[in-house]
């Protein structure tokens, strides 16, 4: 799951790898909640992409 958080921070939020590392290692209160939310959001996105793939295959 940390790989997904790193991906989210680097690719989608523009963090550097070092910045993402620091954000994960020493989260502040609001950032901690934010990274917990990222995990849930990434799982939802992954599931929606799976559903999309299945729907496209049904066409």
Q: What is the structure's pLDDT at 54?
A: 92
Crossing angle (nearest 10°) for helices 17-25 and 29-58: 120
Q: What is the structure's pLDDT at 23?
A: 81
Tell me the C-alpha distance between 13 and 24, whole Å.
14
Kindly report the length of the chain. Answer: 59
For residue 1, what is the DSSP state? -
Q: What is the structure's pLDDT at 39?
A: 66
Strands (E) located in the chain: none
Q: What is the structure's pLDDT at 33?
A: 46
Q: What is the structure's pLDDT at 27?
A: 59
Tell me which residues of the chain have a pLDDT lower than 50.
33
């Amino acid at each position: 799951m940390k790989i997904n958080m790193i991906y989210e921070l680097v690719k989608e939020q523009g963090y550097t790898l070092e910045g993402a590392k620091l954000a994960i290692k020493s989260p502040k209160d609001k950032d901690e909640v934010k990274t917990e939310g990222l995990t849930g959001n990434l799982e939802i996105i992954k599931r929606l992409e799976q559903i999309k793939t299945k729907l496209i295959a049904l066409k």
